[in-house]
A and B are shown apart, each in its own frame.
Chain A
Amino acid sequence: MDRRDLLKFGSFGAAGFLLEGLAGGILSELYGASTNTSLKNYLLVNLFMAPARWPMDQILKPERNSSFYPNPFIKNKFSNIGAGSFNFELDYGTSDIGGIQFPHIWNYEVPRAGGGSRPMRELADHFLAIRGCNMILDGHFINNRRLDAPDPGGVSISGILSDLSDRPYSGISLAGITPYMNSAAGAFNSPNGKTPVILGNEVKDYLQYLANPFSVAAPTKDISQKAGRELLTNLMNELGANSRYFKTSNSNRKKAEEMMIYGLEKISTEYSAIFMKYQNLINRSLRKTNIKGVTDKVIPGLSLPFSTSVKRKENGNAYKIEDYLGTYRERDEYLLDNDLRGIFDAAEIYELAQQFAISEIIFKEKLSHSIVMTVGGVANLKVGRATDEENIVMKTIGDKVHFSYKDPKAIRKNLVTDHDPDSHEAGSLTTFLSCSLAWNAISSCLLEYIDQLKKAKIFDDTLIHVTTEFEREPAETDSGTHHGVTGHSSTLICGKIEGPQVIGNIYDISHDPNDVTPSCGTWGKGAPVAELDHNEIVYGNIASSICKILGISSPTPASKSLVRIDPNSKKITPLISKAKNVKFKKTHFKNSKRS
């Protein structure tokens, strides 16, 4: 190699390093492009482990005359109930709100803060449901994380928002009692490397956790004076002058100093009152309720001995115990209480009150722009009597099958359990009851939360996103449900949405042989949408829609937004036509680019 070659190589090498810096700068700028100048607040409420949402906010029947095929599992009200086991009929009921058929429970009222009640239907005023989204991948944890970071391993919506935010705290992750890294709360990933504030299950007092670093101990006050801050500022400017870390470091220091002056602990009394408010709403929503068609009458548990006709599955296989008796199953236990309503007398949704309380403080006090809240299922169910399958004897005599206890003394008493939102092993009755009451609690908290946002005049600038990783597809029998990854739905609530609205098509009945339970009725499986080149909605579309509303760049720019923002009124309206329940056609799969 001669000198000329050395110069050539050297100059191209230098160009490479220049490009390195340029690329890094471009990357961090890429997610900074904003479609409007005011940054919005974003609250993601992630109902962890995919609970059944047909008693909650899933719109399976958008219009009165929408095609709907009932399924033994997908029920949300009692049409009648009598004494003894299996002496009831469940139905799929609706509540007409603005021409859209919401689930049955929306007919009724939820507890109001301070006492009394209020119509649940108020939640529909600014409500947009997006249904029929194909998540493509199966798996709780990957899909949970995709709710915030739609491209696995990529940047998250909360991360992009945090990079643009000048508020003290970057994204706040409220993991509750769930494993943090497996949920949406663990998916925070900002292009500029910001770190979220994580409040996991080891944190007892959320406000104390946020305030503690900035509480100044009395003996040190003389050091934390103005002179100290000035010296530190000048020192940092000099020491970090050549460090690539300088900008972040300086920003953190300034924000920490602001928080010390602000004194978050001063609102600890107010925080306690807010926490008690939400805890009270949750308790009244879960315990000793009297919801018509749900908990207004005695609900007898399983009682043995019991006999019924022999049944077989579609493939000819014989029914097992779980197929016959699964209605009363919760995890490994069959519930035997005389009145199943009693098991909810001490029910809880752990951490939910703290999560809503701290979320209210954070947005009202402008401490962060982004909160991801992971909500667990209904827990602390006090079961008086239960038995497991090993204690049940099944005998087939002729065309009848008989069930009895192997040993009545082996019946377990005073059990404490919780509803498994991932209801593979929870029957139609336990699922319907637990999910209905969970929604009662969540909607009650949401309505109060929205009231507070309105009082603070920030509801128009706040997007609340209620969702799960995917929906549930019923099993062939009453034994449980499966993952409905082809039918995810998301609920968006914002002051700028004139609700209720619902978009996204689903099949009235799918005969797709790839389904876990083909032809099982209307459960929410995504169907093609004309405006998306006759493809189903995918989560990238929902992510782009959320980012459109928040005024930030989408982490999935190749997927179209499903909403538009009116440039004058700032109202949010759908870009695709109203939701339809479509007929299944084999040609749908030939035409779909995602098949």
Chain B
Amino acid sequence: MLSLKKRILKIQKDRNFFLVMTLLLCSPLAVYGNSKKIYRADRRMGDRFYIASRLQRIFGAESSKTLEENILSKVRAFGGACSPYNVISEFQKEGKKRINHHTKYRCYSGLADSKVEPFIDAGILRTGHLHKTCDLLVAKQQTYQFAINLAGLGSNSAKSDSNLKKMLRLFYPHSKKLPLALKKVKNPSWKLILSSLCKSDYWQIP
């Protein structure tokens, strides 16, 4: 026979247990119980400003025009009403000419498009625009050379594992494992590898 104190403790424990169990079981149902779309961190792709910024960092200032024409102007494919980064950088007075610094993309004083969604899941048009942009940037000598140099490589660098990792880290800076796909391809050119990495979707997820 349990003492009164122990019985009270047991009841409290059972009550807590059922409360926690209910919360644990109901929370996913509450989240998924309706049909509304939920933005998930592993599905939310960067907006046009994020994509353009990352690509400019990799391919250099000479990529601006290509990025303007194929990423920044494709509002409905990539999303992003306006760039908040300019506001921050103005205050910080970075002084560097980045693509998002153009006044027309600024929030509050530029041509912000309030009807555009902040994040747009990938669709075929986005994929198409990105593939085209990657091809154009890799085909242009100045932008290709910038990317190769940024990776610490030259056009004739060997396709060793360590060099492939350097190229990989342009887009996936935290990647530790080298994809087998890069090692298996026969006689790839650095342009082919760079283009493929650029077109792979997953670096677009912020």
Residues in chain A within 8 A of chain B (CB atoms):
1, 5, 8-9, 12-13, 15-17, 19-20, 23-24, 27, 151, 153-155, 168-170, 179-181, 189, 191, 193-198, 200, 210, 212-217, 219-220, 223-224, 227-228, 230-232, 234-240, 243-245, 248-249, 252-253, 255-256, 259-260, 555
Contacts and interface: CB of A to CB of B under 8 A. Distances in A.
Contact of A253 (B13, B33, B172, B201): B201
A245 B43 contact: yes
Contact of A235 (B121, B122, B200): B200
Contacts, number: 177
B192 A24 contact: no
Interface string B46-59: 00000000000000
Interface of B: 13, 17, 20-21, 24-25, 27-29, 31-37, 40, 42-43, 76-77, 115, 120-129, 131-132, 135-136, 138-140, 172, 179-182, 184-185, 188, 191-193, 195-197, 199-202, 205
B76 A198 contact: yes
A99 to B, nearest CB: 42
A235 B37 contact: no
Interface residues of B: mostly helix, strand, loop or mixed? Answer: helix
Nearest to A224: B135
A214 B132 CA distance: 7
A191 B35 contact: yes
B121 A248 contact: yes
Nearest to B195: A223
Contacts of B135: 216-217, 220, 223-224
Contacts of A193: 37, 43, 121
6 contacts: A170-B123, A231-B196, A234-B179, A236-B202, A244-B40, A245-B205
Nearest to A167: B124
A220 B192 CA distance: 10
Nearest to B132: A213
Given A16-B24, A19-B25, A243-B42, A231 B192 contact: yes
B137 to A, nearest CB: 9
Contacts of A248: 43, 121-122
Contacts of A260: 128, 131
B31 A219 contact: no
Given A217-B139, A234-B179, A243-B202, 19 more contacts: A8-B17, A12-B21, A16-B24, A16-B25, A20-B28, A23-B28, A23-B33, A195-B123, A210-B125, A213-B129, A219-B140, A231-B182, A231-B188, A234-B185, A235-B200, A240-B202, A252-B127, A253-B201, A260-B131
A112 to B, nearest CB: 35
B202 A220 contact: no
A214 B128 contact: yes
Contacts of B200: 232, 235-236, 239
B179 A255 contact: no
B25 A238 contact: no
A228 B182 contact: no
A3 B205 CA distance: 39
Contacts of B29: 19, 23
Contacts of A215: 132
A15 B76 CA distance: 39
Given A17-B28, A235-B197, A245-B205, A195 B120 contact: yes
Given A8-B17, A195-B120, A235-B196, A24 B25 contact: no
B89 to A, nearest CB: 28
